[in-house]
Structure 1
Amino acid sequence: MFLNKVLVIAMFFLFTIMFSQKKRKDTIVNKLDEVIVTATTTKRQLSSLPMPVTLITQKNIKKTSATRLRDIIVEQTGIILVSDFGSSEGVQIQGMDAEYTLILVNGLPYIGRTSGNLDLNRISVNNIKQIEIVKGPSSSLYGSEALGGVINIITEIPKSEQTNSELSYAGRFGAEKELDLSFEITHQKDKLGIESRINLNSGSGYDVSPETENNTVNPYQNYNGNLRLTYDISDQLKFVADGRYFNQKVFNSDSKAEQKDYGLSTKLTHWINEKNKIDFSFYTTRFKTESQFDGNTSVFNQTLLRPEIKGQFKIKSSDLIVGVGGNFDALERTFFDGKEQYNSQYVFTQYDTKIKNKVNLILGLRYDHFNTFKSAISPKISAIYKFNTWLSTKTSVGLGYKVPDFRQLFFNFRNTAGGYVVLGTEVLHELYGNLSSVSNLSKELAPESSIGYNLGFDFKPFKNLSLHLNFFRNDISDLINTFVVDTNFPDLPNTTVFSYENRAKVFTQGLEFNGSYKINTNFNITFGYQFLDTGDKEEINKIKSGEVFFRRSPSSPSEIIQLDNYFGLANRSRHTGNIKLFYKNFDHNFSLNARILYRSKYALFDTNNSGGIIDEFDQFASPNTQINIGGSLKLLNIFTVQFGIDNLFNNTEQENKASFENIDAVLQLGRTFYTRIQFNF
């Protein structure tokens, strides 16, 4: 019903204002460097934004020769890629878990979180114009999953009003028989623009810890393709269509798996005049995995449909954005009793205004209505004050939320041979709602929520030196935890039953420091550091009341843990940093770079029987430093040769073997050599 209403509204706007407005003058091309759109959905210069944002330009991506998004993300300040015990990686921002970071491509969500993480290897960096990272709650614009931040990958758009064609090829040859080939064709003539890309990637797999049961990485091959069409219907109407397809197969001696991912989006932009416009967009995407192990087949099949209408209006020196849309999300997977659906409708608005040319104030608000659980309201306020040309301060406060996922509601996994069962809350009540202790449990999970604070300062004391300092705090409530249902189930004797509940309250806080210094036209340096402090408020209260004990060894007496001994949340490092050096020789068309990455110690879990609490006496993964180097040489203005070594000194963290049974979760993957050749015709 809601979808029908959206379509009716879209058609009404389309036909009533398409032909009734004056001709739009040619838009002035925005030539500002470092233009970003994710934080406000409007074009803004990075330095003018009142919230912490990282921009990775196409130029910086090419410097590193990376072929996958994860290789770029891992080198950014305050961002850690963490592995779970299923060998998938997720993005940790400001200490927030990976499931709280929303991944977008051209402003549209990537789906396919099987255990909270999204596989970043599905995304190739070829044809990426820039990557925009917004830190802190962004639910006021983007809704669920943006509780901790947003990463938006923006691809190139064919340049309009030019007639040209271009063909390019790039190849990367790495260790372990890694092969990455890319072909790209762009064509622009008059009002029509076409951009297409095909990427092929394969590897033989490797195992850096043969003493463990599984390979570190299994042999694989994948390919993906992208197609973008742009067409200027008239001076008032612009049409863009984007399509993508990804297919990957993973091989092992006793199992195999296949992933498929496709997305199609269309957007019709109607310029009412040169300052006001309305976008009509529709997006559909599907992610499917199918794996076979020991004769059993496991399937994960998720689809998403999203219609949306968004208007952007100029009111004197202010910008007003108003939008309405819907999400129709469905998932069919093994261990579900059938196909489950989430339906939601949302309305959002944002008001962006300037006050006396020194203050920029942004107010945002979003309302989401769901068919399965409670609705959510997400406000946010951000402001920047410019003292002078070299000093400014920025602050933001916002609420974020994340709705329960399908697994937490509908999972029905039974391993009776192993002595345990995992049931989503809906399944638990449907099957055992007649048991009194189960009936007393809350059936409806509330969305996880957070309030995030950021206070930052930008300094530019000299022309070639820029410094950025940001303090942050995130308080997260109603975190959904797994717990043991304290009930005797008649049909499940001697079996532990797990389910989910809203319980935990945690926090992350710290500071982030970034800087860049251009020594001369040939040489520049960037650097960054993050200090992170995290904790579970319930665990802290238990420590304060003297309820937590530990043993230094199995035979030693129990001791009380003091608050000074508390370390915080699992898989968090208190100190991370990076230094990047870039050199460019213009006379001979070559460049060199070195990137140094540091992460301090971290703990994966409680190892001294202190009730799941991580303290200074637990076993930690050791601190590590990784050095990556690279370079490029342009020859005959036709092709560019890039080369590099990741993990130059082959730091594999073998010293962690004695502390962790699942050593793959903390190992680096050894030294990798690569070359990349790109031809431009």
Structure 2
Amino acid sequence: MKSKLGVTCRFGFALALLMALSPLTPQVYAEDDKGYEEYSLGEIVVSGKGASVRDIAISDEVTVEDFEAVNAESVADALTYVPGVQVTYGRKAFPSISLHGFDQNRILTLIDGVPYYETKYGGMDLNQIGLESVARIDVVKGAPSVLYGANALGGVVNIITKKPTETPYLSATGEYGIAGMDDAYKASLAHGMKVGNFNYWLSYAHREWDSWDLSDDFEPRVGEIVRRPGGTEETIIEDGDERLNSDYKTDNFWAKVGVEPSEDTEVYLNFHYITTEKGDPANLDSIRVFSDFSHFDRITAYDDWGLDLSADHAFTDRFNLQAKLFYHDHNDDYASYSDQTYTEQIALSTYKDYILGGMLLGEYQMVDWNTLRAALHYKKDSHEQRDIEDLPFAESQAYTGSASLENETRLVDDKLSLVAGISYDWFDISKAEDDPETDGNIIENDTPDMTDAFNPMIGATYQLVDSVQLFASVAKKTRFPTLSQIYSGDEPNLELDPETAINYTAGVAYAYESLFKLQVAPFFHDISDYITRDVPPTENPYSQYKNYDEVEMLGFEVSAEVRPFTDLSFKIGYMNNNATNKSDGRVTDEVAKVPEHTLNVGIQYTLPVIRTRLNVNMLYVGESYYQLPNPDDPDLETIENDDYTLFNAKITQPFLSDRLETFVAVDNIFDEDYEPTSGYPAPGMRAWLGLTFRM
């Protein structure tokens, strides 16, 4: 195993550099204007204009200060420490985001209110979205507003970007990996300015490394490589030290241009371009290799670009209308290789997606104590796929819409707020092509009838006293099946229904000035028509996805923030989640991939005078099931994902009137060896040395 001597020397050098710079820090700490605002047109439920609509659900706001405290480099990193959220990595080096046990395909992910996902599978790699242009991430669990649109079965993640203020802004950050990675560095630049009615925001970021290291405690084990044709080979797939095929490179460019001709009107054009190339570290236990597809693979391109046009106009003091038009384009290439040397490429699969759509959001305040809101969403999804480079593309197209109405009434001197809403959501596939034999003979599949659903919700908040607020809500949510689920198997399943969840939330929030905040929130999710392939073969002769499972999730969240002194703060978040399989014919009551316990703790302390900032974070994730026996295979082995406890730390030293900061950040301080997803060991200890300049 590799020695930690070099790591210790580099970490010690970085710490000494911080201490050497600290005398340059002025004795008086001045907090400057941060130089940006949150992009209000990126919100669906706007802060301050409908606060009770946000408060009826369990929600979190992840801010720039939260990003910096954990040295997050992407949206996936920033979500890792949110109560009730779990982030793990598995196939395709893809971060799997779950809210209360709902995986990423069952939650609605938005950037500035615009849907962000792959049109075939439903998820998207949130690790590729850098944070240089992100002002806040809203995480809403359980019963989000009907105004968000369709497919928010378990909740919503809305990534809100930055816009400039009248103070010109410029920042630059550079980081170098001093331990746990090979040739790792990050660099970013952001600039924004507002001149009269015109403003713009620009940012660019680059991240890359050649590989990351496994823990020193990692022990190689024998796995199997199954070749069809060719048979099964038992071998060690990963021998430790540097993780094979773990390189990564991504570039992010974001631009926002806005015109605000009056206090009543805003028009903005947003553009983003993201390009990523990455290795996909192999599963340690089992690999499949076919003549035209392999689990020894690389993602040679994972690229996105998009344009969003947003406009908002207040026609009167009581009536406001917002409109959005958007086009998002996604392309990824999946290169298959014959073995773990990744030298002989056997196939290149290509996927092309685009989303074209728009939305209208209206708000009318009929009287001072009542506000009516409405939304209309409509979009087209396009997917093109070819499994081998020489083949033509098979095309699919689908349309999704949502029309919603929501009313908020404030009573008892605004202490009581009642929110009621309903949405009508629909999904229609107009075209579905396939190449089942991978021979270039494209066939036109039949398409299902249009699927629709009504989704009502109701909620309330009550300000018991100035420091105590009560809230409760219940909402019916649906999630339409993906193209992959409908058209997988030996034959399409055109009768696949949407999944349904009845989400109940309640809670109490207590705040004592700025010294102490506490929220306790029970939740219950009753999920029916859950889509799965784990169905008895007698009921599923064509290996299709079916509406088979019934699942219940009962638990609670506790979050608290304590600030006994101005320079010292503690944050604690805990979730307990008991997930139970209630399906007829079930083999077990357990549910896969839902940990019963998660705990996160964050401590920040700023040293007097020299203003050195210390951040320490702890994350605990309890055991969960990776694989369970099921009706399709009742003798299947039960495999558990590891429980794990991680400690991260960051030391930041500001100087030159806080315009310059240097920092050292360490992830997995104790070099814990763990597999959050079975077969996929996580990185060992990693450390970064960085410098940030702002003006």
Cα displacement (A) at 1:302: 1.1
The answer to whether 1:653 aligns with 2:674 is yes
Cα displacement (A) at 1:139: 6.8
User: TM-score under structure 2 normalisation?
Assistant: 0.78
After superposing the two structures, state which structure 1 stretch, 624-633 or 474-483, moved more: 474-483
Cα displacement (A) at 1:142: 2.4
- The one-letter code of the counterpart of 2:460 is A
Aligned partners of 1:207 and 1:216 also within 8 Å: no
Q: In structure 2, what is the Cα distance between the partners aligned to 1:613 and 1:113? A: 34
Tell me the equivalent position of 1:125.
131
CA spacing shift, 1:116–1:297, aligned 2, 3 Å = same
**Aligned counterpart for 1:243 among listed residues 248, 263, 271:** 271
Cα displacement (A) at 1:636: 0.8
Tell me the equivalent position of 2:609.
587
Q: In structure 2, what is the Cα distance between the partners aligned to 1:254 and 1:340? A: 25
Say which SS state the counterpart of residue 309 (structure 2) adopts.
strand
Tell me the equivalent position of 2:683.
669
Provide runs of 4+ in structure 1 moved above 4 Å: 31-39, 44-48, 113-116, 209-212, 214-217, 251-256, 483-489, 607-614
Aligned partners of 1:178 and 1:203 also within 8 Å: yes
Structure 2 gaps, min length 5: 1-35, 222-235, 281-295, 337-344, 430-449
CA spacing shift, 1:106–1:362, aligned 2, 3 Å = same
Tell me the equivalent position of 1:641.
662
Output aligned runs, 1:146-161, within 5 Å: 146-159=152-165
The answer to whether 1:525 aligns with 2:539 is no
Say which SS state the counterpart of residue 211 (structure 2) adopts.
coil
**Aligned counterpart for 1:482 among listed residues 523, 533, 540:** 533
User: TM-score under structure 1 normalisation?
Assistant: 0.79
**Aligned counterpart for 1:330 among listed residues 372, 375, 382:** 382
Cα displacement (A) at 1:629: 0.7
Aligned partners of 1:88 and 1:117 also within 8 Å: no
CA spacing shift, 1:255–1:389, aligned 2, 3 Å = closer
Say which SS state the counterpart of residue 663 (structure 1) adopts.
coil
Cα displacement (A) at 1:472: 0.4
Cα displacement (A) at 1:623: 2.6
Q: In structure 1, what is the Cα distance between the partners aligned to 2:184 and 2:172? A: 17
Tell me the equivalent position of 2:175.
172
- The one-letter code of the counterpart of 1:54 is D
Tell me the equivalent position of 1:285.
328
Tell me the equivalent position of 1:13.
none
**Aligned counterpart for 1:629 among listed residues 632, 644, 649:** 649
Tell me the equivalent position of 2:209.
203
Say which SS state the counterpart of residue 543 (structure 2) adopts.
strand
Cα displacement (A) at 1:65: 2.3
Q: In structure 2, what is the Cα distance between the partners aligned to 1:337 and 1:198? A: 33
CA spacing shift, 1:575–1:99, aligned 2, 3 Å = same
- The one-letter code of the counterpart of 2:644 is N
Q: In structure 2, what is the Cα distance between the partners aligned to 1:57 and 1:394? A: 23
CA spacing shift, 1:201–1:315, aligned 2, 3 Å = same
Cα displacement (A) at 1:362: 1.2
For residues 186-224 of structure 1, the C-alpha deviation after alignment (integer angstroms, 9 at most, x for no partner) is 122111101100111111123636655375652221101
Cα displacement (A) at 1:461: 5.6
Aligned partners of 1:374 and 1:446 also within 8 Å: yes
**Aligned counterpart for 2:112 among listed residues 82, 95, 106:** 106
Q: In structure 2, what is the Cα distance between the partners aligned to 1:392 and 1:478? A: 35
RMSD: 3.2
Structure 1 gaps, min length 5: 1-30, 412-421, 427-442, 490-495, 543-547, 549-565
CA spacing shift, 1:347–1:567, aligned 2, 3 Å = closer
Cα displacement (A) at 1:231: 0.7
The answer to whether 1:223 aligns with 2:280 is no
Cα displacement (A) at 1:463: 5.6
The answer to whether 1:599 aligns with 2:613 is no
Q: In structure 2, what is the Cα distance between the partners aligned to 1:44 and 1:626? A: 39
Cα displacement (A) at 1:274: 3.5
For residues 621-662 of structure 1, the C-alpha deviation after alignment (integer angstroms, 9 at most, x for no partner) is 3432111111211111331112211111000138x9xxx9x5
Cα displacement (A) at 1:262: 0.7
CA spacing shift, 1:267–1:32, aligned 2, 3 Å = closer
Q: In structure 1, what is the Cα distance between the partners aligned to 2:62 and 2:307? A: 25
Cα displacement (A) at 1:248: 1.1
CA spacing shift, 1:514–1:256, aligned 2, 3 Å = closer
Q: In structure 1, what is the Cα distance between the partners aligned to 2:41 and 2:310? A: 19
The answer to whether 1:363 aligns with 2:368 is no
Tell me the equivalent position of 1:573.
595
Aligned partners of 1:270 and 1:278 also within 8 Å: yes
For residues 208-252 of structure 1, the C-alpha deviation after alignment (integer angstroms, 9 at most, x for no partner) is 366553756522211010000111234443211110000112358
- The one-letter code of the counterpart of 2:612 is F
After superposing the two structures, state which structure 1 stretch, 232-241 or 264-273, moved more: 232-241
CA spacing shift, 1:287–1:568, aligned 2, 3 Å = same
Q: In structure 2, what is the Cα distance between the partners aligned to 1:75 and 1:292? A: 33
Say which SS state the counterpart of residue 545 (structure 2) adopts.
strand
CA spacing shift, 1:612–1:351, aligned 2, 3 Å = farther
Say which SS state the counterpart of residue 151 (structure 1) adopts.
strand
Q: In structure 2, what is the Cα distance between the partners aligned to 1:64 and 1:84? A: 22
Q: In structure 2, what is the Cα distance between the partners aligned to 1:398 and 1:76? A: 22
The answer to whether 1:270 aligns with 2:313 is yes
**Aligned counterpart for 1:299 among listed residues 325, 350, 353:** 350
The alignment-based identity, stated in percent, is 20
Cα displacement (A) at 1:275: 3.7
Say which SS state the counterpart of residue 409 (structure 1) adopts.
helix
- The one-letter code of the counterpart of 1:223 is D
- The one-letter code of the counterpart of 1:672 is R
Cα displacement (A) at 1:136: 0.8
Aligned partners of 1:605 and 1:612 also within 8 Å: no
The answer to whether 1:444 aligns with 2:495 is yes
For residues 524-573 of structure 1, the C-alpha deviation after alignment (integer angstroms, 9 at most, x for no partner) is 1111211110011126x75xxxxx5xxxxxxxxxxxxxxxxx66211221
CA spacing shift, 1:137–1:608, aligned 2, 3 Å = closer
Say which SS state the counterpart of residue 350 (structure 2) adopts.
strand
CA spacing shift, 1:679–1:447, aligned 2, 3 Å = same
For residues 504-539 of structure 1, the C-alpha deviation after alignment (integer angstroms, 9 at most, x for no partner) is 111111011111111111111111211110011126
For residues 365-410 of structure 1, the C-alpha deviation after alignment (integer angstroms, 9 at most, x for no partner) is 1112332331121111110112111222100100111111111223
CA spacing shift, 1:224–1:468, aligned 2, 3 Å = same
After superposing the two structures, state which structure 1 stretch, 191-200 or 211-220, moved more: 211-220
Tell me the equivalent position of 1:341.
397
Q: In structure 1, what is the Cα distance between the partners aligned to 2:632 and 2:272? A: 48
Output aligned runs, 1:495-514, within 5 Å: 497-514=542-559
After superposing the two structures, state which structure 1 stretch, 35-44 or 290-299, moved more: 35-44
CA spacing shift, 1:503–1:621, aligned 2, 3 Å = closer
For residues 259-290 of structure 1, the C-alpha deviation after alignment (integer angstroms, 9 at most, x for no partner) is 11011101121221234221122011011101
Say which SS state the counterpart of residue 141 (structure 1) adopts.
helix
Tell me the equivalent position of 1:20.
none
**Aligned counterpart for 1:319 among listed residues 350, 371, 374:** 371
**Aligned counterpart for 1:454 among listed residues 496, 505, 513:** 505
For residues 43-91 of structure 1, the C-alpha deviation after alignment (integer angstroms, 9 at most, x for no partner) is 3586872221111122222233221122221111111113444442211
Cα displacement (A) at 1:34: 14
Q: In structure 2, what is the Cα distance between the partners aligned to 1:529 and 1:392? A: 20
Q: In structure 1, what is the Cα distance between the partners aligned to 2:416 and 2:112? A: 29
Aligned partners of 1:63 and 1:631 also within 8 Å: no
Tell me the equivalent position of 2:45.
40
CA spacing shift, 1:583–1:327, aligned 2, 3 Å = same
The answer to whether 1:404 aligns with 2:481 is yes
- The one-letter code of the counterpart of 1:270 is H
